[in-house]
Structure 1
Amino acid sequence: MRVLLKATLDTEKVNELTRSGKLPEVMKEAIDRLQPEAAYFAPLGGRRTCLLVFDMQDSSQMPPTGEPFFLEMNAEVEVTPVMNADDLQKGLSQMA
């Protein structure tokens, strides 16, 4: 299932990672692990935010998906099922 992970990063923790030079490594590990089809980074609500769209095969993947963001960046993490335009059309066609 395609999901959107929104990680709102803790400013103080990410400042520490940035100053130590570890932030690029931590982000690369997260991206390499999840292999997202899309990855975006933006200041949402005044806080550093990471948005990743990836395929989650099973709900048992939730702990290894979210924990690195919790542990490494003290992030607030949300995981939400999402659709692309093709998925939406497929779903709507099933309603007829």
Structure 2
Amino acid sequence: MRVLLQAHLDTDKTNDIISSGAMPKLMQEIVGAFKPEASYFTADGGVRTMFLVFDMKDSSQMPPLTEPLFEKFGAEVDYTPVMSADDLQKGLAQLK
């Protein structure tokens, strides 16, 4: 299932990671674990936020993918199922 992950990163913890110089490597490891089809980084609600769209094959993937965000960044994380335009058309065709 295609999923949108939204993670709001704690400012103090993230500042410490940036100051230590560990941010590029850590982000590469974390984002790489998701193997996202798309990833975006911005400020949302005044905090650093990442959006990742990826294929979740099984809900058992949630702990190993999400725990590093909680542990390293003190993140608040949301998962939302999402569809591509093709997925939407396929679903709508089933309504007939």
Please indicate, yes or no, whether the TM-score normalized by the shorter chain is above 0.5.
Answer: yes
The unaligned stretches of length 5 or more in structure 1 are none
Identity %: 58
Deviations 1:37-92 (A, max 9, x none): 00000001111000000000001111011111001100001111100111001000
Question: 2-side partners of 1:46 and 1:82: how far apart?
Answer: 24
Aligned residue runs from structure 1 range 76-87, under 5 A: 76-87=76-87
Amino acid at match of 1:28: Q
Match of 1:88 in 2: 88
**What is the TM-score with the length of structure 2 in the denominator?**
0.98
Aligned alpha-carbon RMSD (Å): 0.6
Match of 1:38 in 2: 38
Question: 1-side partners of 2:44 and 2:79: how far apart?
Answer: 16
- Three-state SS of the structure 2 residue aligned to 1:42 is strand
Question: 2-side partners of 1:7 and 1:25: how far apart?
Answer: 18
Match of 1:55 in 2: 55
Hey, which bits of structure 1, 4+ residues long, moved more than 4 A? none
How many corresponding residue pairs?
A: 96
Deviations 1:4-45 (A, max 9, x none): 010000000000000000111111001111110000000011
- Three-state SS of the structure 2 residue aligned to 1:54 is strand
